[in-house]
């Protein structure tokens, strides 16, 4: 949340990936017709490159060039050198890319570190307070915070095989480790195709919400096609992955990703179809996965996964082009994570939240060991101030005084052929595998083919959802306000407590949910796989010799193996 099933699907994924490759190569070719250069940063296998910093290579590169980065700890500081480039000065970044078709690739995923901490000796990604870099000051002498790598309003940029850490929040638009930014706050699309693979994004530092790292891997104001593949993110006070401001047509794939230890494992505010999240793992977050509608984002609300122009999805063969499939969502029971704003109100113990979202398909996933609910579908009452010059309530229902909030109901969602195990073990009323609250007469959510692993019956609130709403025909059905579940969601999330300073959301007597005792920051897991062939696609250069010398094109002329 921003603060301010079959072979046809496989074919669709392959087609979208092929289209992306063509668009990326076309962007590079159009931007620069001559043969691309390869710029080398650092020293690799004893061979020194031409540049000591990534930003220096970016500055020297021409559209379509390759930048290879040797293992090392890179404290990039473009923002401190006042080289904001064309992007606004309140969007500071260590590395700024504004040229189309650039390929930025580390030679080792875990050992090429773009480090947001202060330069100096010591361990990379230090958690020490004295080592943190809070950025340059704004006009009021407040630290702006920092972003890691920002791709600003330019197409065809690929970032591969590296780690970013400790780029922290501040008074600016900051706290994002890697950001494909097509014009945050503009309400317009300013970026097309992009790709990120074999990336890590994390933070080791927490000392309150004002300076916490906010987001791991982020895209906004982009029309795609975009792909994030083989990525890992953890320890953020909003979400590990964020997709938004894409004018409801995101055209993006999140694949083979692993999301841990954050307030939200994923957030997709007003992020509509076509959007595909597959083959990924969301665990040990407070709320594993959330897609929601909000009136304060600079994309049109609500969140709606319907295919553009009343089309039909090649994956679902229905009206729904937003698909969450073949994912493993488990053990999202962690209150001891960073958390700020509305993201902090994600209900602990929840695998997946569809909050005021519509026309999404959730198919063929596993939901295991989520203590409150495996999946919840709930309305979202947005009480925040909308953007400048925006309607008071876009795509929702104005609730009137005193809050004048904007209520987004959930409808048209399909929960199909998922498996569940040991969800709802907190044992509060309505806790279980699936919970639904609806507040208006609207197109039905539908539920069928869901099973309990090891036998038994899928538990739902209200009871019998698979019997009462099995058909995905968008037929209008009466609301089901489900007051018992409303009480439990309010108790768990403490959402309404944030509306009044010092307030709280009362809990039904006997209801208990885990509460935060301290924030625990977790290290990166060992053994996150680097690109198997780090020289694949790279023009011949000193670090990537011809195939005759390096048959595997893995950057190691001494023999096979990962770089």
In this predicted structure, what is the pLDDT of residue 21? 46
**How far out from the chain centre does Cα 493 lie?**
21
Beta-carbon contacts of 360 under 8 Å, excluding residues fewer than 6 positions away, are 273, 291, 303, 305, 320, 322, 323, 324, 354, 412, 413, 414
In this predicted structure, what is the pLDDT of residue 554? 83
- Strand bridging mode 176-181 / 215-220: parallel
In this predicted structure, what is the pLDDT of residue 2? 56
Count of CA atoms in the C-beta half-sphere (13 A) of 332: 36
Token readout for 368 is: 């295991």
In this predicted structure, what is the pLDDT of residue 498? 58
C-beta of residue 258 within 8 angstroms of C-beta of residue 279: no
In this predicted structure, what is the pLDDT of residue 84? 59
In this predicted structure, what is the pLDDT of residue 282? 99
The whole-angstrom separation of Cα 72 and Cα 162 is 10
In this predicted structure, what is the pLDDT of residue 388? 64
Q: What is the pLDDT of residues 403-418, one digit of tens each?
A: 778 999 999 999 999 9
- Strand bridging mode 406-408 / 397-398: antiparallel
Beta-carbon contacts of 4 under 8 Å, excluding residues fewer than 6 positions away, are 296, 384
Query: Which residues of the chain fall short of a pLDDT of 50?
Result: 3-23, 25-30, 32-33, 560-562
C-beta of residue 461 within 8 angstroms of C-beta of residue 434: yes
Residue (of 253, 411, 263, 277) closest to 342 by Cα position:
263
C-beta of residue 149 within 8 angstroms of C-beta of residue 101: no
Query: What is the residue-wise DSSP string for 390-414?
Result: --SSSSSEE--TTTT-EEE--BS-E
Beta bridge partner(s), residue 411: 358
In this predicted structure, what is the pLDDT of residue 412? 98
Using the Cα atoms of residue 452, residue 456, residue 458 and residue 461 in order, give the sign of their dihedral. Answer: negative
Q: What is residue 521's three-state secondary structure? A: coil
In this predicted structure, what is the pLDDT of residue 511? 95
**How far out from the chain centre does Cα 281 lie?**
13
Beta-carbon contacts of 90 under 8 Å, excluding residues fewer than 6 positions away, are 138, 144, 171, 172, 173
Residue corresponding to tokens 């002329």: 557
Instruction: Please report the domains of the chain, with CATH numbers, ordered by start residue.
Output: 7-43+59-168+177-499 (2.160.20)
In this predicted structure, what is the pLDDT of residue 551? 78
Residue corresponding to tokens 């097509």: 182
Query: What is the residue-wise DSSP string for 70-103?
Result: -SEEE---TTTTT--TTS-TTS-EEEEE-STT-E
Residue (of 419, 436, 420) closest to 354 by Cα position:
436
- The backbone torsions φ and ψ at residue 495, rounded to the nearest 5 degrees and listed phi first, read -60, -45
């Amino acid at each position: 949340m921003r603060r301010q099933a079959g072979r046809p699907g496989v074919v669709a994924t392959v087609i979208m990936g092929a289209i992306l490759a063509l668009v990326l190569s076309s962007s590079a070719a159009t931007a620069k017709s001559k043969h691309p250069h390869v710029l080398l940063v650092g020293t690799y296998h004893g061979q020194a490159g031409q540049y000591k910093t990534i930003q220096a290579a970016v500055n020297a590169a021409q559209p379509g060039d390759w930048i290879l980065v040797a293992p090392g700890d890179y404290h990039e500081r473009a923002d401190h050198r006042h080289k904001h480039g064309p992007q606004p000065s309140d969007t500071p970044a260590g590395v700024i890319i504004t040229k189309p078709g650039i390929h930025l690739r580390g030679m080792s995923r875990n050992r090429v570190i773009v480090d947001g901490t202060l330069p100096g000796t010591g361990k990379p990604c230090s958690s020490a307070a004295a080592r943190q870099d809070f950025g340059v000051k704004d006009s009021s002498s407040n630290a702006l915070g920092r972003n890691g790598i920002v791709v600003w309003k330019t197409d065809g940029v690929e970032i591969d095989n590296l780690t970013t850490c400790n780029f922290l929040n501040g008074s600016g638009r900051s706290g994002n480790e890697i950001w494909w930014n097509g014009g945050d706050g503009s309400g317009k699309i300013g970026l097309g195709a992009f790709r990120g693979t074999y990336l890590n994004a994390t933070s080791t530092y927490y000392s309150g919400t004002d300076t916490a790292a906010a987001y791991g891997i982020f895209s906004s104001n982009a029309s795609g096609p975009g792909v994030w593949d083989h990525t890992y993110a953890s320890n953020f006070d909003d979400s590990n992955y964020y997709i938004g401001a894409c004018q409801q047509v995101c055209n993006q794939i999140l694949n083979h990703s692993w999301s841990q230890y954050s307030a939200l494992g994923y957030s997709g505010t007003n992020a509509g179809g076509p959007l595909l999240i597959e083959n990924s793992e969301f665990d040990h977050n407070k709320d594993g996965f959330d897609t929601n509608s909000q009136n304060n984002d600079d994309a049109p609300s609500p969140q709606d996964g319907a295919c553009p122009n009343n089309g039909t999805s090649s994956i679902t063969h229905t009206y729904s082009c937003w698909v969450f499939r073949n994912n493993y969502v488990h053990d999202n029971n962690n209150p001891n994570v960073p958390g700020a704003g509305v993201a902090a109100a994600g209900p602990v113990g929840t695998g997946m939240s569809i909050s005021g979202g519509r026309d999404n398909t959730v198919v063929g996933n596993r939901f295991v060991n989520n203590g409150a609910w495996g999946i919840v579908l709930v309305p979202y009452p947005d009480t925040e101030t909308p953007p400048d010059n925006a309607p008071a309530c876009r795509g929702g229902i104005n609730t009137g005084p005193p809050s004048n909030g904007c209520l987004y109901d959930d409808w048209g969602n399909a929960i199909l052929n998922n498996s569940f195990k040991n969800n709802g073990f907190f044992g509060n009323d309505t806790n279980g595998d699936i919970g639904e609250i609806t507040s208006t007469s609207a197109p039905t959510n539908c539920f069928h083919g869901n099973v309990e692993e090891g036998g038994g019956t899928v538990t739902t609130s209200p009871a019998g959802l698979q019997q009462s709403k099995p058909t995905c025909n968008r037929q209008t059905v009466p609301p089901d306000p489900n007051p018992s579940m409303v009480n439990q969601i309010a108790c768990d999330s403490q959402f309404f407590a944030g509306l009044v300073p010092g307030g709280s959301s009362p809990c039904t007597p006997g209801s208990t949910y885990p509460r935060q005792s301290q924030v625990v920051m977790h290290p990166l897991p060992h053994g996150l796989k680097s690109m198997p062939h780090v020289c694949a696609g790279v023009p011949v250069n000193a670090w990537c010799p011809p195939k005759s010398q390096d048959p595997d094109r893995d950057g190691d002329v001494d023999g096979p193996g990962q770089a």
